[in-house]
Structure 1
């Protein structure tokens, strides 16, 4: 119980909100997840937030796969698989290097802020050019796979990258959700041993620890709340209004992470 009490009020509030948004994003609004990364990075610090977030994502991914498991487009995923593996390896090396730098200089906050701003730019580009994207081009496949693998390992922030890639293919909603659900469940489970190994290599600044797992256990119910809220709320708000709010909040949070 002492490990629970070690968390500050800010960590409980921001962590609970982030968990709620994770569940919310799995009910049909993947864009909500873009706010989770800066929220958890503000609450726990850049490096530790990645380890706190991973079990929460896996818990939510299980629900997503349960609902959309029959609609995955596996041919899309197999094309990405080798490049995603490369990105994961590069992301693991990056986390190893930043971990060795020591906890007093947590550069992950700046990196995460920059990644979120880049994702926002990609979202705006997608809105402008629409279906003129060419996701089938080998360069697009390679860049998407490597970027998704790196960002999901370094900051659990590959959601918008995969959303842009799959939406550019014109997938129906069910196929989009099913393909996304399976991609992130498989990738997030594969990242568990990577994060565990990084924690053993650098025990003074672990990504996954008893403290982080207890925090995950306490925050998991908020994912269920997020799932319920999403199913109730989304039909009652316009897509354009919600997207605008998500982008504004993400931009403010990202700038805060970079400047703090």
Structure 2
């Protein structure tokens, strides 16, 4: 696979790897760009497996960077909803075709984003940390992660609505997805999604991921809270629209 990649393909993969690193330490949502670029160069399964390994590398940088900033109480409270969502997502995958899955998830996430933004504009902040909020967002995060690897937009909206500071947002999100990706790893290996030849591509791209993740860490420390919230919202909407348009 390495020898069959053109210089242009390597450029696209390098840009995608840089997006993965930045997304984990500064700008959640940029991962969508990486998914699009890798899918344009590699076969579907190879693309998914290659990205998963790079995500884990970036996750480790993120959890090291924000090891003191994660809100573990929030993560623990989301567990029941996430597990419920994973079970529902598994059942949905068993009966729904790929195209319907992508469109359904994309539309569902856009509705969630719209509702969240409306709630955030109310005089009193939304109580998403309550039982109902945790159940709704946790279940949707588990469902979308299991059925379409699209849990990022749900978590982004949940943390924004919870009024998390930049570092707390990134730390909590980093640990959530690190745990989720570790759980996915053995299943991906068993299903042949992660292949030996893809690991050679990962080996070449790991330095790019590390460099961009470290650069993202510096960017996050200088970012204004309002600007961060706007960027996350825009990237989250773009993620959903990408998911829908690629399925149509």
Q: Normalised by the size of structure 2, how large is the TM-score? A: 0.77
2:37 maps to: 39
2:13 maps to: 15
| Among 116, 132, 136, the residue aligned to 1:139 | 132
2:201 maps to: 215
Q: Distance in 2 between matches of 1:240 and 1:184?
A: 19
Q: What do residues 12-48 of structure 1 show as CA deviations (whole Å, max 9, x unaligned)? A: 3443222211111122221323433333344445554
TM-superposed CA distance for 1:95, in Å, is 6.1
Pairs aligned (count): 242
Q: Distance in 1 between matches of 2:61 and 2:3?
A: 29
State the secondary structure of the residue aligned to 1:133: coil
Are positions 1:63 and 2:53 aligned together? no
**CA 1:34–1:91: 2 relative to 1, 3 Å:** same
Q: Distance in 2 between matches of 1:236 and 1:86?
A: 35
2:119 maps to: 129
TM-superposed CA distance for 1:189, in Å, is 0.8
**CA 1:236–1:208: 2 relative to 1, 3 Å:** same
Are positions 1:227 and 2:213 aligned together? yes
2:50 maps to: 52
State the secondary structure of the residue aligned to 1:71: coil
Q: Distance in 2 between matches of 1:251 and 1:73?
A: 26
| Among 183, 192, 208, the residue aligned to 2:185 | 192
Q: Which residues of structure 1 form unaligned runs of 5+? A: 99-106, 200-205
Q: Distance in 2 between matches of 1:123 and 1:21?
A: 22
1:113 and 1:254 in contact (8 A); partners too: yes
| Among 115, 123, 131, the residue aligned to 2:105 | 115
**CA 1:163–1:251: 2 relative to 1, 3 Å:** closer
TM-superposed CA distance for 1:159, in Å, is 1.5
State the secondary structure of the residue aligned to 1:49: helix
Q: Which moved more, 1:4-13 or 1:65-74?
A: 4-13
**CA 1:145–1:244: 2 relative to 1, 3 Å:** closer
